[in-house]
Amino acid sequence: MAEDSSSKKPLKSVDFAPVVASGADSGSVSVELSSRRTGMSFQRTRMSADRTLMSVIRTSLSLISFGFTIYQFFEHLRESSIVTGGHAARNFGATLVWLGVAMIAVGIAFHVQFMLELRKTRRELAEEGLIHAQSRFPPSYTLSVAILLLLVGIAAIFSVQFHTGPLG
């Protein structure tokens, strides 16, 4: 027997062939199978949304870290009097940090909006009896990481704009 990871109750392994052979309505079996497939499709859609947010995290992390590195590199060159200008490169680095933070903020907003709509649709289908909706929607760890990255990005912006922090 398989187990449902959210409730740790054993799931029944159902063989529909004897049910159909005994004269049961094949339409009810078809509806049951369809309900189960639809329920699983919600889980696949949720995982797909998490993968999309992970790609936003990857890209925004690259922008934030690369921008911060460029900014700090040219700031140290300017402080060492190796380069007298360098404002354009430092501004480019700061712009990359801002772009990375904006991207993660929009990604979080899109993810939250999508997940709320997905939960609403799932709840409506469950109320209509079209799906079982026995498995729960656990919190998204990807969303937690995205929020942490947003906070790190905001700290990088403060460091760049106001010359604060350990490197400022």
Contacting residues for 52 by C-beta, under 8 A, at least 6 apart: 111
The whole-number pLDDT of residue 28 equals: 59
Question: For residue 110, what pLDDT band results from cuts at 50, 70 and 90?
Answer: very high
Instruction: Name the percent of the chain in helix, strand, coil, to the closest 5.
Output: 75, 0, 25
Question: For residue 147, what pLDDT band results from cuts at 50, 70 and 90?
Answer: very high
Query: Per-residue pLDDT tens for 16-31?
Result: 555 455 555 555 556 6
Q: What average pLDDT does range 116-129 have in this prediction?
A: 86
Reported pTM: 0.71
Question: For residue 2, what pLDDT band results from cuts at 50, 70 and 90?
Answer: very low
What one-letter code names the amino acid at 135?
A: S
- What's the mean per-residue pLDDT of the chain? 78
Query: Per-residue pLDDT tens for 130-146?
Result: 776 666 767 889 999 99
- 37, two tokens: 């497939």
Judged by DSSP in three states, 3 sits in strand
Least confident of 6-15, 35-44, 71-80, 147-156: 6-15
